[in-house]
């Protein structure tokens, strides 16, 4: 059995093993392009894994490796957790991107409440096994504020200003901070992935792992994009975007990201209360200043950036064109009306 795991920003870990007749790990070999000092510590890792039950959890595998290492051992470019993920993949308990047939959805613009409802429905469909793992690019039909699931509405949003400017406010299910979006000025995408894809990873590790493909896409366009823990995509010129995530008990993970293509900072500061404070020390208080890390660093139309993102995803992970089904649309419309468009949901945290 063979498993591989590439550490984000680090090295490749490769595990080959067998399972004995009584269900134990056997003939374990660990290799890769990592660094390890002293070299003899590689045997510590192998010995720590040898003989463990094949049903051992990722957490316990990592703990066994950590406990088995000699005190002076130094793992460079990988970790006990990375070894555990590679073991789980060898056992077929954690998938790779290519283990799934991805669908890619590029649907027409929708109202904000429909977008967050569609996220909810598609994630549930993947969890139930009725939908293939999916990447969806969003198109906005209006300016909006999307607040995080745990944020205080009154602390985050100047509702009077938002109403006067025609900016819609909705609350999403995931945590994280408020997003200000306008048609053509942001790039938003969602991944609806099987939980097995991030099995054994902490939330922090899964954020980096699920955004690695988009970093490669941005790098190919000349942006020195990097992952910045916990949930940011950044460059030397500042933050580009932020991610949020939710794991569903049925066996799926929703991971979505909004990046600034060409944002009107003045308009954002008018409607986001916290935004005023965040931007006050970043040199963006000028009325003419725009937050445009993607447009300015690529010089490309937004559509070309999205196209490169799609092409990069397909080249790395595979994928075919997909669509939101009529039943999924209907379910999302119902959920939007009953939950995401309601004042009760919007204001359930004051």
Cis amide bond preceding 38, omega within 30: yes
On whether both 66 and 112 belong to a single domain, the answer is: no
Range of the domain at 41: 2-94
Can you give the pLDDT at residue 45? 98
pLDDT, tens only, 164-173? 999 999 999 9
The model carries a pTM of 0.79
**First-residue to last-residue Cα distance in the chain:** 53
pLDDT, tens only, 102-131? 999 999 999 999 999 999 999 999 999 899
On whether both 53 and 173 belong to a single domain, the answer is: no
- How many structural domains comprise the chain? 2
54 CA to centre of own chain: 29
Nearest to 214 by CA among 296, 305, 299: 305
On whether both 87 and 102 belong to a single domain, the answer is: no
On whether both 184 and 37 belong to a single domain, the answer is: no
On whether both 205 and 255 belong to a single domain, the answer is: yes
On whether both 88 and 179 belong to a single domain, the answer is: no
Domain boundary among 94, 125, 150: 94
HSE value, Cβ hemisphere, 13 Å, CA-based, for 321: 3
On whether both 65 and 167 belong to a single domain, the answer is: no
Q: How many helices (DSSP H) and strands (DSSP E) are in the chain?
A: 13, 18
Domain boundary among 69, 94, 119: 94
On whether both 216 and 294 belong to a single domain, the answer is: yes
CA distance 81 to 62: 5
Domain boundary among 94, 123, 148: 94
CATH number for the domain harbouring residue 84: 3.30.390.50
Which parts of the chain register pLDDT below 70?
A: 8, 275-291
Is residue 127 classed exposed, middle or buried when 0-12, 13-18 and 19+ CB atoms within 10 A define those classes?
buried
Please check whether residue 61 is in contact with residue 87, taking contact to mean a CB–CB distance below 8 angstroms. Answer: yes
On whether both 192 and 336 belong to a single domain, the answer is: yes
Question: Looking at the chain, how many residues does it have?
Answer: 350
Nearest to 191 by CA among 166, 210, 218: 210
On whether both 144 and 174 belong to a single domain, the answer is: yes
CATH number for the domain harbouring residue 166: 3.30.930.10
Cis amide bond preceding 240, omega within 30: no
72 three-class SS = coil
On whether both 146 and 55 belong to a single domain, the answer is: no
Mean pLDDT taken over the chain: 91
On whether both 87 and 110 belong to a single domain, the answer is: no
Can you give the pLDDT at residue 278? 54
């Amino acid at each position: 059995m063979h498993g591989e795991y590439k550490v984000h920003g680090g090295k490749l870990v490769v595990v080959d093993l067998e399972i004995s007749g009584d269900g134990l790990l056997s003939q374990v070999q660990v290799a890769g392009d990592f660094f390890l000092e002293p070299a003899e510590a590689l045997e510590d890792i192998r010995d720590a894994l040898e003989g463990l039950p094949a049903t051992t959890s990722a957490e316990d595998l990592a703990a066994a490796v950590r406990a088995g290492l000699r005190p002076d051992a130094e793992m460079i470019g990988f970790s006990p957790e990375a070894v555990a993920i590679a073991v789980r993949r060898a056992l077929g308990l954690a998938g790779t991107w290519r283990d799934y047939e991805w669908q890619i959805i590029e649907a027409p613009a929708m109202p904000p409440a429909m977008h967050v409802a569609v996220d909810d429905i598609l994630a549930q469909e993947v969890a139930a096994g009725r939908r293939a793992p999916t990447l969806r690019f969003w198109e906005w039909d209006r300016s909006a504020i999307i607040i995080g699931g745990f944020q205080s509405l009154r602390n985050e949003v100047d509702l009077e200003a938002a109403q006067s400017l025609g900016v819609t406010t909705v609350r999403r299910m995931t945590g994280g901070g408020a997003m200000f979006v306008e048609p053509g000025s942001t790039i938003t995408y969602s991944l609806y992935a099987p939980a097995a894809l991030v099995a054994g990873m902490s939330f922090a590790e899964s954020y980096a792992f699920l955004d690695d493909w988009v970093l490669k896409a941005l790098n190919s366009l000349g942006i020195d994009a990097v992952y910045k823990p916990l949930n940011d995509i950044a460059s030397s010129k500042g933050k580009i975007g932020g991610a949020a995530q939710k794991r569903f008990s049925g066996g799926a993970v929703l991971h979505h990201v909004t990046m600034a293509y060409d944002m009107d900072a003045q308009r954002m500061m008018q409607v986001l209360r916290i935004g005023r404070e965040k931007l006050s020390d970043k040199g963006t208080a000028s009325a003419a200043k725009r937050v445009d890390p993607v447009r300015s660093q690529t010089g490309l139309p937004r559509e070309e950036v999205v196209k490169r993102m799609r092409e990069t995803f397909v080249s790395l992970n595979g994928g075919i064109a997909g669509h939101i089904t009529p039943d999924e649309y209907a379910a999302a419309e119902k959920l939007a009306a009953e939950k995401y468009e309601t004042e009760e949901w919007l204001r359930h945290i004051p």
